């Protein structure tokens, strides 16, 4: 026979295990905060931009075909910038202690669709190093692109600058803690239902009737110690009245 569970039963399970759910939720948030603030290394980003210039015709009009050609060649430039030919020079000139392959993982190159502007973004644990990598990469690329492709159409649009108080881009403490709260709450709720499903003890008269199939003919009530102490300290008149009531 298929068993169904009602919304009321779900709420009763959640209410019964609310302590477990709260512990899991707060515990996950606490662990996330500790890991974010004390174990993860903050990283900083800095960006430098260059533009691929179009050539003007003799009457100073813009050559549309030249613009289209410059936009198409940007895809090639994006690959060249992150090549060992460029990055090896960047490593040497900045005296970095990493290889060109490791530096490649720190650099991201992108451009908007149909735009002649290319943005080179560098990421590093030191904000000053991120600025130096972004600027030096664009500088070396501008110097070498003429020899590599026999073109001279790259101009630096804006250089990366070190902010007075740079903010890390990663990790994001509030986002990490918020995610941990959600995950912790889901884990606590899931565990609450697992424990409830595995709990096969009999707790109510209905459990006895359903599991054993016998009718309940009587129950034994539990008397708290506080109830006994309250009766013990009642005045004689109250106890006499109660005895009179019981005797009929």
Do both 11 and 36 map to the same domain?
yes
Do both 210 and 193 map to the same domain?
no
Look at residues 157, 164, 152, 159 and name the one whose alpha carbon lies nearest to residue 70. 152
Look at residues 8, 27, 31 and name the one whose alpha carbon lies nearest to residue 173. 31
**Has residue 1 been placed in a domain?**
no
Do both 243 and 184 map to the same domain?
no
pLDDT value of residue 248 = 42
For residue 118, give every residue at least 6 positions away whose Cβ sits within 8 Å of its Cβ, in sequence order, or none: 49, 50, 51, 52, 74, 77, 78, 81, 109, 110, 111
Give tens-digit pLDDT for 10-55: 888 889 899 999 999 999 999 999 999 999 999 999 999 999 875 5
Do both 114 and 183 map to the same domain?
no
Q: Which domain holds residue 128?
A: 44-158
**What are the structure tokens assigned to 167, written together?**
């903010």
The number of folded domains in the chain is: 3
Cα angle, residue 42 at apex, residues 37 and 43 outer, rounded to 5°: 160
**Has residue 153 been placed in a domain?**
yes
pLDDT value of residue 241 = 52
d(CA 110, CA 79): 10
Taking the complete model, does pTM exceed 0.85, yes or no?
Answer: no
Do both 48 and 11 map to the same domain?
no
Helices 7-16 and 173-198 cross at an angle (nearest 10°) of 110
pLDDT value of residue 55 = 53
Give tens-digit pLDDT for 187-243: 999 999 998 888 777 667 776 667 676 776 767 676 777 766 665 555 555 555 555
For residue 110, the SS3 value is strand
Between strands 44-52 and 117-124, the pairing is antiparallel
| Bond into 84 cis (ω within 30) | no
């Amino acid at each position: 026979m298929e068993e169904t569970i009602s919304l009321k039963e779900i709420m009763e399970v959640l209410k019964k295990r609310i302590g477990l759910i709260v512990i899991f939720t707060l515990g996950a948030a606490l662990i996330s905060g500790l890991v974010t603030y004390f174990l993860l290394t903050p990283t900083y980003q800095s960006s430098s931009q260059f533009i691929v210039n179009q050539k003007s015709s003799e009457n100073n009009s813009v050559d549309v075909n030249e613009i289209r050609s410059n936009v198409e060649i940007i895809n090639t430039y994006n690959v060249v910038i992150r090549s060992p030919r460029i990055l090896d020079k960047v490593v040497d000139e900045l005296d970095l202690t990493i290889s060109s392959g490791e530096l490649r993982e720190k650099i991201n190159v992108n451009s908007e669709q149909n735009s002649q502007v290319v943005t080179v973004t560098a990421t590093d644990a030191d904000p000053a190093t991120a600025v130096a990598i972004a600027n030096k990469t664009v500088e070396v690329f501008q110097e070498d692109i003429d020899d590599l492709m026999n073109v001279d159409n790259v101009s630096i649009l804006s250089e990366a600058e070190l902010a007075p108080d740079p903010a890390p881009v990663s990790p994001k403490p509030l986002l990490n803690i918020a995610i941990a709260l959600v995950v912790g709450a889901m884990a606590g709720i899931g565990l609450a239902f697992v424990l409830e499903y595995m709990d096969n003890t009999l707790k109510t008269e209905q459990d006895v009737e359903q599991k054993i199939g016998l009718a309940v003919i009587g129950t034994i009530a539990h008397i708290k110690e506080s109830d006994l102490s309250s009766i013990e300290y009642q005045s004689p008149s109250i106890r006499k009245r109660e005895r009179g009531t019981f005797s009929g």
